[in-house]
Amino acid sequence: MKRTTEFEFSAGLRWTHWLRAIAIVVLTVTGFYLAYVFIVPQASDEPVLFLNAKFRMWHEIAGFLLIAVTIFKIYLFFADRTSLKERVAFLDILSPKIWFQQIKYYLFIGEHPKLRGAYNPIQFIAYIGLYMMLILVSITGMILYVHSYQAGGIGGALYDYMRPIEAMMGGLSMVRGIHHITMWGILIFIPVHIYMAIFNSIMGREGSIDAIISGYRFNKSHKR
Ligand code: HEM
């Protein structure tokens, strides 16, 4: 059988995907440490250890990387020509018929629906949920950040904007709790996301995982 390829994901989309994946791994490992200090260095009389500060530093570096990449990805979604396939996928959310066909496909009792864009409606809604969690974790992260670095720089610039949001969330302790719970929301998304990517690659035989690496997908037999 002859296989044709189709360019699906732009370089910007693929870079932002993998940079975010790396940032989230770093944030989760360092975040668990900040929540529960699971390594304690050997005691020393000299003030040179700063292990907590180092974990916090890497958490904040990865945090601002995540924020920058997420802003850029949102820009691409609305402005990039190749990302038109993502925008068009929104139209399928409005079709109850496609919803039913997609659910039947996942239950192994129906064919894959003919889609207009890059994502099916269930996938699109899951991604909207992910973005809401990313925005929440970023805002709560910045609130926590400005409490350590309000004297100048980014912390100083953000301080006056973050404090009212902190008050609306019920105070700093609540903000920390929301930040932590949102991490779990993201951690639940990841295995489901990986399972679905593998499921679709095997069932659809279109190289869905290849597309997020090379940009190209095989035969688009179920696309309109
Ligand atoms: C996937 C994204 C993220 C995850 C999984 C994550 C996870 C966590 C966790 C579990 C904690 C400890 C909270 C607790 O005490 O229970 C934490 C603290 C913190 N996070 Fe995040 N975080 C993320 C994103 C961010 C972002 C975007 C920023 C912004 C720069 C940020 C800044 C902070 C700061 C400043 C703290 C407090 C550190 C401290 O208490 O010394 N985080 N994070």
If one counts every other C-beta atom within 10 angstroms of the C-beta of residue 175, the result is 23
Burial 138-173 (b: 16+ CB within 10 A, else e): bbbbbbbbbeeebeeeebeebbeebeeebeebeeee
Q: What is the pLDDT of residue 53?
A: 93
Cα 162 → chain centroid: 22
Here the tokens at position 102 are 């997609």
For residue 36, report the distance from its CA to the centre of ligand 1, in Å: 12
What is the total residue count of the chain? 224
For residue 108, report the distance from its CA to the centre of ligand 1, in Å: 40
pLDDT tens per residue across span 59-86: 999 999 999 999 999 999 999 988 899 9
> pLDDT of the chain along its 224 residues, tens only?
556 788 878 899 999 999 999 999 999 999 999 999 998 888 888 887 899 999 999 999 999 999 999 999 999 999 998 889 999 999 999 999 999 999 999 999 999 999 998 899 999 999 999 999 999 999 999 999 999 888 889 999 999 999 999 999 999 999 999 999 999 999 999 999 999 999 988 887 777 788 888 888 876 554 44
Residue among 223, 212, 219 nearest 21 (CA):
212
Q: What is the pLDDT of residue 196?
A: 92
Q: Which of 34, 51, 143, 181 to mutate to test the pocket of ligand 1 (most atoms within 8 A of CB)?
A: 34
Show Cβ contacts of residue 198 under 8 Å, excluding neighbours closer than 6 positions: 209
- pTM here is 0.90
Residue among 153, 152, 172 nearest 162 (CA):
172
For residue 12, report the distance from its CA to the centre of ligand 1, in Å: 26
Query: Which atom of ligand 1 lies nearest, measured to the CA of 144?
Result: 35
Q: Identify residue 151 by its one-letter amino acid code.
A: A
For residue 62, report the distance from its CA to the centre of ligand 1, in Å: 10
Cβ contact 51:15 at 8 Å: no
Q: What is the pLDDT of residue 224?
A: 44
Q: What is the pLDDT of residue 221?
A: 52
From atom 24 of ligand 1, which residue's Cα is the shortest distance away? 63
**Phi-psi label, residue 41: left if phi above 0, alpha if psi -120 to 50, beta otherwise:** beta
Q: Does domain 5-218 have CATH number 1.20.950.20?
A: yes
Residues with CB under 6 A from ligand 1: 24, 27-28, 31-32, 34-35, 56, 59-60, 63-64, 66-67, 137-138, 141-142, 144-145, 176, 179-180, 183, 186
Residue among 89, 87, 73, 95 nearest 123 (CA):
89
3-state secondary structure of 5: strand
For residue 159, report the distance from its CA to the centre of ligand 1, in Å: 17
For residue 179, report the distance from its CA to the centre of ligand 1, in Å: 6
Residue among 70, 50, 204, 180 nearest 135 (CA):
70
Cβ contact 208:9 at 8 Å: no
* Half-sphere exposure in the Cβ direction for 46 (13 Å, CA): 2
Cβ contact 179:141 at 8 Å: yes
